[in-house]
Each structure stands twice: as C-alpha cells, then as structure tokens.
C-alpha cells in the first residue's frame, strides 16, 4: 500500500462515516474484524481505540489497525496461497533472510509480512498501563549509548523526521549487542539488518495524518507519551538474549 492509497483510504473512511451520520461511539466501537482464511491472523489491538488519546486519536487507531494492518494480513495470506512454506515458517525467520523467499513474491513478502510484523510490534509497545519511563538495565544501556533518555528520544525523532516518505524509526540492539537508532523504509524491518528492536515508531502518514496533518515532528514528540516502557524493557531483554 503506497502513500496515495493510504491517504485515499483515510479520506474514504472519514467520508463514509460522515455520510452515514454515525456517532463517534458507534463508528469507532472496537469490533473484531473478520479473520481471513490463511495462516496469518490480525491480532486484536488489546485495548480501546481511544486508549492512547489525546496523543493518538481513536479514529486513527481504528483505521490503522482494522484496515491498514488487516490489509497486510490479507495480502500475506494471498502470498501464502502461492508459496505454502510462508505459512509454516516463523515470521522472524522469514524476515531475517528474505533471500530464501522466491523471487516472484519476495517484494510482496517484504511489504506485507513485514507490515504485519511491524504493526504487531507497534501495538504491543503502546499497551496502556506500563511504566512511563525507562529503568533498570534498559535505562543504563540508554545512558551509556546516548548520554540519557532525552538524547535517545531526540535521535529517534530525528530518524523518524528525516525518513523521506514512509517508514519507521527504531531503537535496536545491533549485531554487536549495542543500542543504536536506525530508520527503515516502507515496511522493511530491522530483522533483515541483523538488528532486534526495542521500540519502533511508525511514520507512515496514515499513523498520524488525521490528527497532525503534515506535522510529523509534533506526532513524534507526542508519541513518546504512549510508550509502555515495561514492554520496551522486555524487548531489550529478549534482544540481548
């Protein structure tokens, strides 16, 4: 799904709701989307669409999860129908070495299986109720690598703000087991680079445009208020092995 398609989807969804006269509570009630046939399933968000307000609005969350993420899952299942091994291998294994995927579907797998994995990671990272700032081993590693939490956040924001077009900014554990900040294009993942993510922020326009329009920097600044640092700490522990 490209930028133009993303914006058309957002605009169409808003227009349909307005035309139908639906109230906010009805329009954005969190109903489970129909699950497609195939090995890939859309994971439930796990919290209300409005749970991240005022930083991310309910309308954006509903469209982002139930439509954009669902589209990646549907497309991944179509690819699995063409290459059944896709549905049998661990998703991290696939994305860590895309050279094993047949040429004819490799781009589709990169975009759609990558999109599925990235978004699942993203939703879990923002689960409400966790710690509001880093602590313990993760905080020590951030301080050692960047000089402090603010400095790390500034570097992630710069990576996200500097990403031309669509993509992600990540705090990762690299091949040397050190913290680093990287940016990936479109739905590419850190896994292909041999890096393991601790946190990641989606900078596709559909992640923020309804609330922030072209103010990506404002979105990135606000997004830190949604990070569940308990989840990030668990990701760091897993990444360190």
Cα dihedral: 203, 209, 212, 213 (round 10): 110
CB proximity list for 109: less than 8 A, separation 6 or greater:
76, 79, 86, 94, 98, 101
pLDDT given for residue 239 in this prediction: 97
pLDDT one-digit tens code per residue, 42-90? 999 999 999 999 999 999 999 999 999 999 999 999 999 999 999 999 9
Cis peptide leading into residue 54 (ω within 30°): yes
Q: Where are the alpha helices (DSSP H) in 169-240?
A: 209-212, 216-223, 229-240
The confidence score (pLDDT) of residue 34 equals 61
pTM assigned to the model: 0.86
- Classify residue 23 as exposed, middle or buried by CB count within 10 Å of its CB (0-12, 13-18, 19+): exposed
Q: Which helix (H) or strand (E) holds 104?
A: helix 103-125
Q: At what angle are helices 216-223 and 149-162 packed, to 10 degrees?
A: 150
Q: Is 13 exposed, middle or buried (0-12, 13-18, 19+ CB in 10 A)?
A: middle
Q: Where are the domains of the chain?
A: 136-240
Fold of the CATH domain 136-240: minor pseudopilin epsh fold (3.55.40)
- Give residue 21's pLDDT: 34
Place of tokens 């991944």: 76
Q: Please check whether residue 55 is in contact with residue 222, taking contact to mean a CB–CB distance below 8 angstroms.
A: yes
Q: Which pLDDT score is estimated for 37?
A: 80
167-173/179-185 β-pairing:
antiparallel
Per-residue pLDDT at 33: 56
pLDDT along the chain (241 residues), means of 10: 48 40 34 71 97 98 98 97 95 96 98 98 98 98 98 98 97 96 98 97 98 98 98 97 88
Estimate the crossing angle of helix 136-146 against helix 149-162, to 10 degrees.
70
- Other beta carbons within 10 Å of 212: 20
Closest alpha carbon to 71 in 127, 163, 123, 9: 9
Q: Which tokens belong to 238?
A: 């897993």
Give the whole-angstrom CA distance, residue 151 versus residue 199. Answer: 15
Task: Find all residues with CB under 8 Å of 76, minimum gap 6, and list them.
Answer: 38, 40, 86, 109, 112, 113, 116
In the prediction, which pLDDT does 221 show?
98
The angle subtended at Cα 121 by Cα 202 and Cα 205, nearest 5°, is 15
d(CA 73, CA 58): 21
């Amino acid at each position: 799904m490209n930028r133009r398609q993303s914006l058309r989807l957002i605009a169409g969804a808003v227009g349909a709701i307005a035309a139908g006269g639906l109230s906010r509570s009805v329009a954005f009630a969190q109903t489970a989307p129909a699950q497609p046939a195939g090995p890939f399933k859309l994971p439930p968000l796990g919290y209300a669409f409005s749970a991240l307000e005022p930083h991310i609005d309910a309308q954006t969350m509903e469209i982002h999860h139930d439509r954009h993420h669902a589209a990646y899952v549907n497309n991944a299942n179509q690819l699995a129908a063409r290459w059944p091994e896709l549905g049998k291998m661990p998703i991290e294994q696939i994305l860590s070495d895309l050279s094993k995927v047949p040429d004819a579907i490799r781009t589709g797998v990169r975009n759609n299986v990558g999109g599925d994995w990235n978004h699942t990671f993203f939703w879990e990272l923002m689960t409400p109720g966790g710690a509001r700032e880093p602590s313990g081993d993760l905080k020590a590693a951030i301080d050692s690598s960047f000089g402090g939490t603010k400095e790390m956040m500034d570097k992630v924001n710069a990576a996200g703000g500097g990403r031309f077009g669509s993509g992600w900014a990540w705090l990762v554990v690299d091949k040397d087991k050190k913290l680093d900040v990287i940016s990936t294009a479109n739905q590419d993942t850190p896994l292909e680079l041999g890096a393991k993510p601790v946190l990641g922020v989606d900078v596709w326009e559909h992640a923020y445009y309804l609330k922030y329009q072209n103010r990506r920097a404002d979105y990135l600044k606000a997004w830190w208020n949604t990070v569940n640092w308990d989840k990030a700490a668990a990701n760091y522990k897993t990444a360190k092995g």
